[in-house]
Chain A
Amino acid sequence: MATKKLRRAQLSQEMCERLSRYQITTCQDFLCLSLLELMKVTGQSYYEVQKLLCKVSRACAPKMQTAYEMKLRKSVNPSSAFLSTTLHSLDRVLHGGVPCGSLTEITSPPGCGKTQFCIMLSVLATLPVSMGGLDGAVIYIDTESAFSAERLIEIAANSFPTYFDSDEKLLCMTRSIHLYRELTCCSVLKRIMSLEEEIILKKVKLIIIDSVASVVRKEFDTKLQGNLAERSNFLTRGASVLKYLAEEFSIPVILTNQITTSLSSGPGIRADLVSPADDLSLSE
């Protein structure tokens, strides 16, 4: 919305040409200027400029919905609101399972089972809706090279022996899990940016990033000057794109995180990244 060109905001042709002489071509450029600057640039009076501002704002402002409409929309298909994890007590605590349309963060010390949990969720997402799955593909972004395809087949065959009764079905399931190995922050971010088209193309219903913490901790040493700002920059950018994808396509997005010790007087264990991305947190 921010990069919407001014000519699609229903400004007149000559106004758009005049503004482009000052390098103002998108709604974002227009709205970042103050009123006096706008008067100078457009050559209009104060009231005219205010009217123009309203026009441009209308072109990029979000649509209004009431909370009631949102509730109605959700209650229309309740089963698609959660991905059940098949662990009954966990599902109960989460009010149904991993929620669709928001980010979920899984945190634990090493060896507790984060990657195993992610692999199991990938299997669950490929199951048909009647069995509690999402009947779709999975995008798995692996930064630690911890994903094991053999383990995936083992979990699938043993958890659902009646469904995966033939090799054919197992292969079909593995074909719908798309694995990407990314080893740097930059490539992770690029991959996240390119996900929108993949989701539509491959009918993806679950995104897993395992793990955000390992790439970030490899590259950003918080003791160095300036790295903290860059690190949070990277995290917030990734987080906002992932949030947009989760909401737009109503799919769950799962991130895994690591635990570090915070040297303070309180309890010693705390999740490392104070990232603004998490809506829910499961501490294992």
Chain B
Amino acid sequence: MQREVGTLPLAPALRARLAAAGFQTAQELLDTGPCGLSKEIGISREEALEALQVVRQECHGDAARPAGGSGATRKYTALELLEEEQSQGFIITFCSALDNILGGGVQLTKITEICGAPGVGKTQLCMQLAVDVQIPECFGGVAGEAVFIDTEGSFMVDRVVDIAAACVQHCHLIAEAQQEEDHQKALETFSLENILSHIYYFRCRDYTELLAQVYLLPEFLSEHSKVRLVVIDGIAFPFRHDFEDLSLRTRLLNGLAQQLIIIANDHRAAVVLTNQMTTRIGQSQSTLVPALGESWGHAATVRLILHWDNSQRLATLYKSPSQKESTIAYHITSRGFRDVQPPAVTHSTEGTELNPRKRPRAEEEKQ
């Protein structure tokens, strides 16, 4: 109640008039009442009533906050956070080496950024995650839905069909091996049509549409409360051209990052972003670094860099608050993202087959 007038979310012109009239605390405003306020400041009674309602709402929100309601600040003890983190699920990637270095998989409520050169598998990983987030809980998944925001147009439905079919088949195999009742029940709803119907796809062609979509996301997520994954495939693409004003770009990106963090926390969803690589020209050599500049590096909690080493694809965990930096190899097969199969295993023919859509790095095929 002792809140200063300058901190209330009123229109700036109104605030200026209140300050000029000498009002200092919210309590004074409430005591004056709408008629008195309108006479003193020279605004209409309806406007005065509106302003008082805003003030009352704010103060009521202030009073409710210590009770632990959802306000701007929340208090937790580290023990509560630990319990929450341990009970949280991870979104697995079907590549066990990658899940291991990530500490179990892609974490919910955190922003994970995947950087890499074109063709290395970023969109493949995103599509894999959009399918894996829907795995029922009895199979170790989080049973959620996915939002896929595409800025580059590289989302291929046929590929998602392949990945989803392989995932369903995998779960069927587990169910047959373990013969538990809830497995059978879960499998009834875990079908190809269901998986595809729960991937919500948005195609944003420029940064304005992307900004608009992110502003509308909280509302969308409240309507679809089962969404546990938001993928933005290509956060760099709309911001890399047509931007003469780099400070505007930094400001927009920071705003986006903050909104995504709020979304991740409020809706308990994992946010996955993909970024491009750019060449930084140093003194004697040029290196490939993630695009969008140094300040964008602070936006993501976990950073994964995918790169090539001759013909092997590698993933490096570049930034993580809880896991150590390490590199593993992975493969993209016709069934999706998989581990590199050791050559002794009999499944080696399927596992080491490179996705025919990807650029063959070996010798060129003769025509």
Q: Which residues of A does B touch, CB under 8 Å? A: 1-2, 27-28, 31-32, 34, 39-40, 43-48, 53-54, 56-68, 70-71, 74, 87, 93-95, 102, 113, 228, 232-233, 236-237, 240, 243-244, 246-247, 266-267, 274-276, 278-281, 283-284
Contacts and interface: CB of A to CB of B under 8 A. Distances in A.
Interface stretch (B69-77, B206-214, B294-302): B206-214
B139 interface: no
Nearest to B197: A68
Contact of A40 (B12, B209, B367): B12
A27 B11 CA distance: 22
Interface of B: 9-14, 51, 54, 117-119, 130, 148, 152-154, 157-158, 160-161, 193, 195-209, 211-213, 215-216, 219-220, 237-238, 240-242, 248, 251-252, 255, 276, 278-279, 281, 310, 356-357, 359-361, 364-365, 367
A31 B279 contact: no
B283 to A, nearest CB: 14
Nearest to B151: A240
Contacts, number: 159
A63 to B, nearest CB: 8
Contact of B209 (A61, A274, A275): A61
Nearest to A271: B359
A10 to B, nearest CB: 14
A72 to B, nearest CB: 9
A271 B21 CA distance: 70
A243 B240 CA distance: 16
A214 to B, nearest CB: 21
A62 B203 contact: yes
Given A27-B208, A54-B216, A65-B200, 5 more contacts: A45-B11, A57-B212, A61-B202, A228-B279, A280-B357
B216 A57 contact: yes
B310 A266 contact: yes
A178 B54 CA distance: 63
Nearest to B146: A67
Contacts of A62: 202-205, 209, 213
A23 B152 CA distance: 30
A244 B119 CA distance: 20
A52 to B, nearest CB: 11
Contact of B152 (A56, A58, A243): A243
B245 to A, nearest CB: 9
- Chain B CB count within 10 A is highest, among A54, A87, A279, for A279
A39 B205 contact: no
Given A47-B54, A237-B241, A60 B209 contact: yes
A267 B361 CA distance: 9
A34 B251 contact: yes
- Chain B CB count within 10 A is highest, among A31, A39, A43, A87, for A31
A233 B240 CA distance: 7
A274 B119 CA distance: 10
Contacts of B117: 274
B364 A284 contact: yes
B212 A74 contact: no
Given A61-B213, A228-B279, A1 B157 contact: no
A47 to B, nearest CB: 7
A45 B215 contact: no
10 contacts: A28-B208, A47-B54, A57-B212, A64-B200, A64-B220, A67-B157, A233-B242, A240-B206, A274-B118, A280-B357
